[in-house]
């Protein structure tokens, strides 16, 4: 396959659901030939596909064929970094159905770090090891495309960015935050901030991250003093594509079906672009590559058929054929001063075009000074027949002025803006009752009781910590009349949803009207819990503890590792550190992760099925009693 576009396939191990269903593997991989063979479970017919890399992460870790995170990094991650270091744009796509392991390859979980954290660390290791006269600047941005809307994850208030085209910069999201970074830890913090933004937003929208494309971009700039200033600018695009599911298989309806349609439309547009590029590579003439058919392909135009080297990781199963797409990649050599000069020339041309469409500058005595805008033009002087054309030119003029202002900012100004944006994000999190990734967060979480979010997506689970203060902690929406201690959103969340009270254990222990729950789990009463948490649901509020819905105004005690569901989409694990055994070892702490989103959903589904069966039995019993009474009346 062409060196500029490479495709890798990675098969993950069975998940718990697949193990429960006693699934068998229908995929076989040959490491020597990088061949992936898929067997039809019904006919046993085999289809073989050859990729640049076939990663068998299904194999036992001790097996020589097993592909670990290190294997993927050595083959792909290092290559991504080398291309970027040499001045190329590089794009790494992760594609596959929801839960196929895309995020694991890209980001990783815990000690199993993925490509993004490893790449950012190595970038700064190289920068720190540099002893030449070369200087480096690194920036990062992160965006999400959800239902064809582009959202800035570093500044979530910007949730519908326009896609613009620039003759030299290519397609870009207007106003997207580019945060200056000076260490790999700062990149990690920014990524955590972006994931927090995704997590809170997905809950409020009753969505999951699998319904949005995520693009994390690292922009590196190299300055070399060798007689003249030379700037090499390269972009590393790390793209986690939304899960592609068939509507019939997901049972989606309504807004969920529309979400799926938007996802599949953009992925279809991506496939059409790759197909068109393949036709061009095969020598076909007059082939139009439909980049503008979706926001995703429009933004990634240069990542697909332009100045880029591209790698795709297809997770779980191969979804594309092996085309040889020959893009001609060129090294980026774009001096910043040249860009500024070009922007100024373009501004001059746009002003000239404005003058030609409007005519001479308006006379202030005729229209009044207040009628003249910031660019010296008066809307009242425009010919109505040309208003649309003038409006378009004026919009371009304003955008070029913004780009010029951004280009002329110093590095110190960019670093200061990054710090200011981080401060604003911190304030927003505090308003929601959240604590962000501060240095003392880990130690505080080992001492203070809190609610820990659970999510279907491993990348977004256990990211939000809501610490509980002594006294009443009110939980509700941001638009509640009274300020809430913990602010959440989503379907079925009331303005004032519930109250969680924290107090110290006394001799009487728990209020007399509290009820016990989760009878199947035997708690060691010998352990003296220092903190007591009681929850009270407000009228009409949906509050489930271990799948049991609590009644209004009843006070129920929360136990360590309880699964708490508020409304339809907010799922938490209750964490009470004082309930752990003294000097809890890592194994005990790790076992708490078993009380996860899947368990909470399994409990809830089982509870609902049981409730439905009880209703059916009650209805049948009432019907039988009615039939008996009718029969008795007929016999009289």
Secondary structure E strands in 317-464: 450-453
Residue 567 marked ligand-binding: no
Distance CA 118, CA 184 (A): 9
Three-state SS sequence of 48-106: EEECCEEEECCCCCCCCCECCHHHHHHHHHHHHHHHHHCCCCEEEEEECCCCCCHHHHH
Distance CA 636, CA 633 (A): 5
Residue 96 marked ligand-binding: yes
Residue corresponding to tokens 């809501």: 466
Among candidates 213, 207, 201, which has minimal Cα distance to 241?
213
Distance CA 462, CA 622 (A): 46
H-assigned helices in 359-410: 364-367, 387-407
Residue 99 marked ligand-binding: yes
Residue 103 marked ligand-binding: yes
Residue 433 marked ligand-binding: no
Helix axes 184-204, 411-431, angle to 10 degrees: 40
Residue corresponding to tokens 């959440």: 488
Please name every residue paired with 38 in a beta bridge, in sequence order, or none if there are none.
27, 47
Number of helices and strands (H, E) in the chain? 17, 27
Residue 108 marked ligand-binding: no
Distance CA 480, CA 541 (A): 14
Residue 100 marked ligand-binding: yes
Specify the DSSP class assigned to residue 515. B
Residue 98 marked ligand-binding: yes
Among candidates 302, 277, 301, 298, which has minimal Cα distance to 287?
277
Q: Where is the binding site for ATP, in residues?
A: 96-103
Q: Where is the binding site, in residues?
A: 96-103
């Amino acid at each position: 396959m062409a060196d500029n576009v490479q495709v890798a396939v990675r098969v993950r191990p069975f998940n718990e659901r697949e193990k429960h269903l006693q699934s068998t593997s229908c995929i076989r991989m040959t490491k020597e030939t990088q061949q992936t063979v898929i067997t039809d479970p019904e006919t046993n017919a085999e289809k073989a596909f050859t990729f640049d890399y076939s990663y068998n992460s299904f194999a036992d870790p001790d097996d020589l064929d097993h592909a670990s995170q290190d294997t993927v990094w050595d083959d792909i991650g290092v290559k991504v970094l080398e291309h970027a270091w040499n001045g190329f744009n590089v794009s790494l796509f992760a594609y596959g159905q929801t839960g196929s392991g895309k995020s694991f390859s890209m980001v990783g979980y815990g000690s199993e770090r993925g490509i993004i954290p490893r790449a950012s660390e190595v970038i700064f290791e190289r920068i720190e090891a540099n002893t030449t006269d070369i200087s480096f600047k690194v920036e990062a941005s992160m965006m999400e495309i959800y239902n064809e809307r582009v959202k800035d994850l570093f500044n979530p208030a910007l949730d519908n960015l326009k896609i613009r085209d620039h003759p030299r910069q290519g397609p870009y999201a207007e106003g997207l935050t580019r945060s200056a970074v000076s260490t790999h830890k700062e990149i990690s913090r920014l990524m955590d901030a972006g994931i927090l933004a995704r997590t809170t937003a997905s809950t409020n929208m009753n969505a999951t991250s699998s319904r949005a494309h995520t693009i994390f971009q690292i922009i590196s700039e190299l300055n070399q003093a060798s007689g003249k200033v030379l700037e090499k600018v390269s972009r590393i695009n790390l793209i986690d594509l939304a899960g592609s599911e068939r509507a019939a298989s997901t049972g989606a309806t309504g807004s969920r079906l529309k979400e799926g349609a938007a996802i599949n439309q953009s992925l279809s547009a991506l496939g059409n672009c790759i197909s068109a590029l393949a036709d061009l590579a095969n020598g076909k003439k007059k082939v139009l590559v439909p980049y503008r058919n979706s926001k995703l392909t429009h933004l990634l135009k240069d990542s697909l058929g332009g100045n880029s080297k591209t790698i795709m990781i297809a997770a779980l199963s191969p979804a594309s054929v092996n085309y040889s797409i020959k893009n001609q990649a060129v090294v980026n050599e774009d001096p910043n001063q040249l860009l500024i000069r070009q922007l100024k020339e373009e501004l001059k041309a746009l002003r000239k075009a404005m003058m030609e469409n409007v005519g001479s500058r308006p006379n202030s005595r005729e229209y009044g000074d207040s009628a003249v805008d910031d660019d010296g033009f008066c809307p009242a002087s425009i010919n109505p027949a040309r208003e649309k054309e003038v409006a378009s030119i004026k919009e371009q003029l304003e955008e070029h002025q913004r780009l010029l202002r951004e280009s002329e900012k110093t590095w110190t100004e960019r670093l200061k803006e990054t710090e200011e944006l981080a401060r604003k994000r911190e304030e927003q999190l505090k308003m929601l009752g959240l604590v962000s990734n501060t240095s003392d967060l880990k130690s505080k979480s080992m001492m203070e009781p809190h609610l820990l979010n659970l999510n279907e997506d491993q990348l977004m689970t256990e990211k939000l910590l809501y610490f509980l203060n002594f006294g009443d902690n009110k939980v509700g929406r941001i638009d509640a009349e009274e300020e809430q201690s913990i602010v959440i959103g989503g379907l079925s969340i009331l303005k004032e949803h519930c109250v969680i009270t924290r107090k110290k254990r006394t001799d009487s222990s728990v209020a007399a009207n509290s009820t016990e729950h989760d009878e199947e789990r035997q708690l060691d009463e010998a352990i003296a819990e220092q903190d007591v948490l009681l929850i009270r649901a407000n009228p009409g509020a949906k509050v489930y503890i271990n799948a049991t819905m609590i009644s209004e105004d009843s006070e129920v005690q929360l136990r360590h590792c309880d699964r708490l569901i508020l409304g339809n989409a907010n799922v938490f694990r209750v964490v009470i550190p004082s309930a752990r055994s003294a000097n809890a070892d890592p194994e005990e702490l790790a076992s708490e992760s078993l009380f996860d989103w899947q368990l909470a959903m399994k409990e809830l589904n089982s509870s609902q099925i049981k409730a439905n069966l009880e209703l059916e039995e009650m209805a049948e019993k009432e019907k039988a009693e009615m039939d008996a009474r009718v029969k008795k009346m007929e016999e009289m």
